Amino acid sequence: MCVRFLYFYNRRDTSKPSFLNSSEKVKIYTDLNQFQVKRPVVTIGTFDGIHLGHQKVIARLRDFAWQHNGESVIFTFHTHPRLVTSPDETSLRLLTTLKEKTELLEKFGIDHLIIYPFNRDFANFTYHEFVEKILVEKLRTHCLVVGYDHKFGRNREGGFEYLQKCADKYHFHIEKLDALLVEADSVSSTKIRNALENGDIQKANQFLGYPFTLHGTVVSGNQLGRKLGFPTANIESSDKYKIIPGYGVYAVKVRLKQGEYNGMLNIGTRPTFNNNADNRSIEVNIFDFDGDIYGQEITLRFVGKIRDEQKFSDMHRLAAQLEKDRETAQSLLSK
């Protein structure tokens, strides 16, 4: 059995893995009977956000696959495990939708992506059953790459020590990766979610390694912004579990089918039911654009926060503040 411990990232190493923009699309599987790969090098996880920590794991996965004449494989799940193990879950918020996750993985040159249906039967697998039935029998794993805190299986009973025994028994290799550190904070999806909920876009983007992105559809609104000279497009998120940053005003890049534009976006309270997490309103003022985009898909990339949400005594004071917000947004977006 080969067991390798990698300590490749510390506080002094602030380099980020770069996107590869691979010309070849990842091969995606939802049925393991279709998976026929020689010498698969596998890693397992939800990979929510594909943040810097994930990116280091993926980079090592690719490198190790190349060194051993194998092919890189990511084994992930849909739906999110918490929605099955905790059916009354109401607080789950995701950094990336399944589509976003897939598109990000393509940019890192992964060979194969397995999207396994996470259901009650699968949740009840013991870790031994998972190793034997999935990793060995179905995937014929040549090497397994796991994070420093890897836990899996029913009641999260499978840890690295147990995997060492499995690797010896079933004749596959195993690698363990240490925690990625960025300015003394270990990177995690939870810390990124907390940063977004607090409106700390700079920290979230630093940990992600790319701008936090929100996809949605333009829907009708009350058109109050148009009366103020700042017409806004109201957005509904493409996924009700997608996290929405905290209340406030943000500088954003806006992508429509017409092209990419700069803009400023307000996240506030909407009293009526909609598809957005926490029932928040999302309204974007798109600079230098005037067109009917109702029903269109829209992508927002968050660059920075301008200010917290405020209440104003009259429309004139609000309009004056919006002028200042636009200047601040343009300054942030020009950097």
The verdict on 305 and 173 lying in the same domain is no
Strands 40-44 and 143-146: parallel
Q: Tell me the DSSP string of 32-91.
A: GGG---SSEEEEES--TT--HHHHHHHHHHHHHHHHTT-EEEEEEEES-HHHHHSTT---
Q: What is the CATH number of the domain that holds 324?
A: 2.40.30.30
Q: Is residue 54 part of a domain?
A: yes
Query: Residue 18: its pLDDT value, please?
Result: 46
The verdict on 49 and 155 lying in the same domain is yes
The verdict on 153 and 88 lying in the same domain is yes
The verdict on 153 and 12 lying in the same domain is yes
Q: Is residue 196 part of a domain?
A: no
- Asked if 167 contacts 137 with a C-beta cutoff of 8 angstroms, the reply is no
Query: Residue 146: its pLDDT value, please?
Result: 81
The verdict on 330 and 223 lying in the same domain is yes
Q: Is residue 200 part of a domain?
A: no
Q: Is residue 195 part of a domain?
A: no
The verdict on 26 and 162 lying in the same domain is yes
The verdict on 75 and 157 lying in the same domain is yes
Where among 186, 220, 239 does a domain terminate?
Answer: 186
Q: Tell me the DSSP string of 101-150.
A: HHHHHHHTT-SEEEEEE--HHHHT--HHHIIIIIIIIIT--SEEEE-TT-
| Count of structural domains, the chain | 2
Domain that holds residue 306: 211-334
Query: Residue 176: its pLDDT value, please?
Result: 79
The verdict on 176 and 227 lying in the same domain is no
Q: Tell me the DSSP string of 279-300.
A: GEEEEEEETT-----TT-EEEE
**Which residues, given as ranges, of the chain have pLDDT below 50?**
1-21, 271-273
Query: Residue 60: its pLDDT value, please?
Result: 87
What are the beta bridge partners of residue 113?
Answer: 28, 74
The verdict on 60 and 7 lying in the same domain is yes
The verdict on 92 and 128 lying in the same domain is yes
Q: Is residue 71 part of a domain?
A: yes
The verdict on 174 and 230 lying in the same domain is no
The verdict on 161 and 45 lying in the same domain is yes
Residue from 48, 46, 52, 45 nearest 95 by CA:
48
Where among 145, 169, 186 does a domain terminate?
Answer: 186
Q: What is the CATH number of the domain that holds 110?
A: 3.40.50.620
Amino acid identity at 185? D
Where among 150, 171, 186 does a domain terminate?
Answer: 186
